[in-house]
């Protein structure tokens, strides 16, 4: 998105992993970014504040601490700014956490997203882009996953809320003409990432010399997608609202994944190699093999051909490159605290 457009982009979840990287990319391009985040304690608030600390020096950045479930707060933001594009990245994340804390997902992912849709209805925007997830494919056994596949058999509440977002967005587009695009993200990783993600928790345990837990006895494959690729995809999509389809709806869905699923054990070995290269560990760690956990799926694999055809882009950062960048960042940002 060019600075010449002088666009105002609202990024919800701006202190989050993807929200931070997207906001920084837009600010570097001269775009005005209004960020919203509730700074909850699902994981380290310190990490969220560290992300914000990199955004706050930008003249074009304005931040509001608010919860999407607070309708009045969301409306106040929309009424204060002439927002051109909304990128909704705020959500209660995590598949396993949704099993023990279901109400958090209803509040953030359902009520919160509804408030965003209502605000876009009453304060019209050029485009609403929102984060969905590969988890919506649930029990789908056909790979690679296509947006044409069934997505009505979720295996976690998190997945159910994300699929609900897609249906809600479609309905609001039909009823009120809001241009909406949903992006199904596939296992995003990279610097400044979420500590609850496997690669991050593996890193911390490996450095402490603890045993890492490998679920489904290692028989799992994930389509790991580097965060810079995700951000490039989001920016490309932002600039091109969907045209009206045959049903009279301006709604679209795309997968954003690396289209190259990696075996979990291979992934761990690459991560260990990168950590050893940075001097964070001296040898490979111990493994404990466990059964499949509730809410997990065996494989994720994205068909991104529609994304490539429409926008001329597909994620392509190799796992070794992305994990090397993560290990380098971890050494600079986190290792001092883990070694004290």
Residues known to be catalytic: 158
Candidates 140, 171, 164; CA nearest to 153 is: 140
DSSP code at position 299: B
At a CB cut-off of 8 Å and minimum separation 6, what does 265 contact?
214, 218
Query: Residues 105, 68: contact at Cβ < 8 Å?
Result: no
CA 29 to chain centroid, in Å, comes to 21
Tokens representing 108? 């953030």
Q: DSSP of 195-247, one letter per residue?
A: TTSHHHHHHHHHHHTPPEEEEGGG--EE--EEHHHHHHHHHHHHTSPPPP-TT
Closest CA to 227 of 197, 253, 202: 197
**Eight-state DSSP code of residue 129:** E
Query: Is residue 217 helix, strand or coil?
Result: helix
For residue 256, which of 176, 145, 152 has the smallest C-alpha distance?
Answer: 145
Residue 303 neighbours by CB distance under 10 Å: 19
- Residue 88: CB atoms within 10 A of its CB come to 25
Q: Which of 56, 43, 48, 33 is nearest to 234 (CA)?
A: 33
- Are the CB atoms for 241 and 179 separated by under 8 Å? yes
User: Terminal CA-to-CA distance of the chain, rounded, Å?
Assistant: 43
Distance CA 39, CA 273 (A): 33
| Secondary structure of residue 224 in the 3-state scheme | coil
């Amino acid at each position: 998105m060019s600075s010449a457009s002088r666009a105002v982009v609202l990024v919800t979840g701006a202190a989050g992993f993807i929200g931070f990287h997207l906001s920084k990319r837009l600010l570097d391009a001269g775009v005005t970014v209004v960020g919203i985040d509730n700074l909850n304690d699902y994981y380290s608030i310190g990490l969220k504040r560290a992300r914000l600390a990199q955004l706050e020096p930008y003249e074009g950045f304005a931040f509001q601490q608010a919860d999407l479930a607070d309708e009045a707060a969301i409306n106040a933001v929309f009424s204060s700014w002439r927002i051109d594009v909304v990128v909704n990245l705020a959500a209660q994340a995590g598949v396993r956490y949704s099993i023990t804390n279901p109400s958090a997902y209803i509040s953030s992912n359902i009520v919160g997203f509804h408030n965003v849709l209502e605000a876009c209805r009453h304060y019209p925007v050029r485009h609403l882009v929102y984060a969905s997830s590969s988890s919506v494919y649930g029990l789908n056994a056909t790979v690679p996953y296509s947006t044409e596949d069934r997505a009505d058999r979720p295996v976690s509440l998190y997945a159910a809320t994300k699929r609900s977002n897609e249906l809600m967005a479609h309905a609001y587009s039909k009823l009120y003409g809001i241009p909406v695009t949903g992006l199904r993200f596939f296992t995003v990783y990279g610097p400044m990432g979420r500590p609850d993600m496997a690669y991050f928790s593996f890193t911390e345990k490996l450095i402490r010399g603890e045993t890492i837990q490998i679920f489904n006895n290692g028989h799992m494959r994930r389509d790991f997608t580097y965060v810079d690729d995700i951000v490039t995809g989001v920016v490309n999509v932002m600039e091109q609202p969907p045209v009206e389809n045959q049903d009279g709806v301006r709604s679209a869905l795309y997968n954003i994944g690396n289209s190259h699923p990696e075996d979990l054990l291979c992934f761990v070995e690459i991560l260990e190699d990168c950590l050893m290269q940075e001097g964070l560990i001296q040898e490979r760690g111990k493994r404990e093999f466990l059964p499949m956990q509730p809410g997990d799926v065996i494989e994720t694999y994205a068909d991104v051909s529609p994304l490539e055809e429409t926008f001329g882009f597909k994620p392509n950062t190799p796992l070794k490159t992305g994990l090397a960048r993560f290990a380098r960042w971890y050494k600079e940002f986190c290792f001092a605290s883990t070694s004290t």
